[in-house]
Amino acid sequence: MKGRGTMSKKLLSIRDLSVDYNTEISRVYAVNGLSFDLDYGETLGLVGETGAGKTTACLSIMGLLPEGIGEVVEGSITLDGEDILRVPDSRLRELRGRTVSMIFQDPMSSLNPVLTVGDQILEVLQEHNKGKKKEELEKTVDNMMELVGIPANRKNEYPHEFSGGMKQRIVIAIALACEPKLILADEPTTALDVTIQAQIMDLMMELKTKMNTAIILVTHDLGVVANFADRIQVMYAGEVVERGTTKEIFNESRHPYTWALLRSVPRLGSESKKELYALGGTPPDLLLPLNHCPFADRCEYCMPICKECKPKETALSDTHKVSCWLMH
């Protein structure tokens, strides 16, 4: 299954994406000018605090922004050669599941409690394989269950009969059922305990290698992406403030917000008895467009210019880019 797609073409290309939410109180500028590419089979970590715009970016790729509230106001999203902001809804439904799938944060609410887990995997397969016989698809259900480490003879059980970790495995089986080219994993392990977290991440990476699936791994925790991502983008207040290979972000980070995230990762074996670092303050109010550095109010290196205008992105290498006045 390796080698899907054309190597010269990007699987995903996002350009100048801006997304707003129209709430009853005001307009919220959730994502502002987001641009990035993703190759076939690549894993990209999207890291940042709650409200950084990570999930909104993923929902835009899925075409699942809340109707009448979320709105892409600018930009383009090209997925496997198709401009998905301009395709009809019927085409978008075909792409969901077959080309792109999403694993949501909470397995407890992602599954339908009144359908057996086998039927939930089958449902997705039937939607995308209209000509195939049910018996044939049932075999794929069994294979998917085994692939995620759950015996196929449990397919007639209901979600409440499984533990949290097993439920998330089933959610992954549903997401992978049609062998999508891209998986958006939105905090896939947040609701699980630490040992299960590691198992789920290992499972996802194993499946990724088997199926050459690209993954966008969304998390607030740099520790989670350290072992799994090829590249990392650090997001803050709807913008990417630093991007680079995993090595560049962990060993040569240059943005004060990335430093703060790194300092707040607990380290095993650390001799220091000091309290774990916590970044003070809160992210800025996104009810008004930001015309200065979004991190200015919380940054210990803030200079007058930081509150006057936005820093342009500085390229430190082909892959490592930083938006901070300290680079100028």
Closest CA to 97 of 227, 237, 213: 213
CB 14 within 8 A of CB 75: yes
Any contact of residue 293 with ligand SF4 (CB under 6 A)?
Answer: yes
The three-state (H, E, C) secondary structure of 39-108, written as one string: CCCCEEEEECCCCCCHHHHHHHHHCCCCCCCEEEEEEEEEECCEECCCCCHHHHHHHHHHCEEEECCCHH
Choose which of 303, 308, 312, 317 interacts with ligand SF4 (CB under 6 A). Answer: 303
- DSSP of 243-261: EEEHHHHHHH---HHHHHH
CB of 299 to ligand SF4, least distance (A): 3
Residue type, 271: E
Count CA atoms closer than 13 A to 15's CA, side-chain side.
8
Any contact of residue 295 with ligand SF4 (CB under 6 A)?
Answer: yes
Any contact of residue 262 with ligand SF4 (CB under 6 A)?
Answer: no
In the complex with ligand SF4, the residue whose CB is nearer, 121 or 261, is 261
Any contact of residue 309 with ligand SF4 (CB under 6 A)?
Answer: no
CB of 319 to ligand SF4, least distance (A): 20
Any contact of residue 235 with ligand SF4 (CB under 6 A)?
Answer: no
Any contact of residue 324 with ligand SF4 (CB under 6 A)?
Answer: yes
In the complex with ligand SF4, the residue whose CB is nearer, 36 or 257, is 257
Choose which of 301, 308, 309, 312 interacts with ligand SF4 (CB under 6 A). Answer: 301
* Residue window 183-202: x/- pattern of binding to ligand SF4, with contact defined by CB under 6 A: --------------------
Any contact of residue 302 with ligand SF4 (CB under 6 A)?
Answer: yes
Strand residue runs (E) in 143-277: 182-186, 214-219, 231-236, 239-245
Q: Using CA atoms, how far apart are residues 243 and 255, in angstroms rounded to an integer?
A: 10
User: Residue 288's beta-bridge partner residues?
Assistant: none
Cα–chain-centroid distance for residue 11?
A: 15
Choose which of 228, 306, 320, 321 interacts with ligand SF4 (CB under 6 A). Answer: 306
In the complex with ligand SF4, the residue whose CB is nearer, 162 or 325, is 325
**Number of helices (H) and strands (E), helices first, in the chain?**
10, 12
* Residue 119 three-state SS: helix
Choose which of 256, 260, 286, 320 interacts with ligand SF4 (CB under 6 A). Answer: 256
In the complex with ligand SF4, the residue whose CB is nearer, 162 or 257, is 257
In the complex with ligand SF4, the residue whose CB is nearer, 93 or 292, is 292
In the complex with ligand SF4, the residue whose CB is nearer, 63 or 284, is 284
* Contact residues: ligand SF4, CB under 6 A: 256, 293, 295-296, 299, 301-303, 306, 311, 324-326
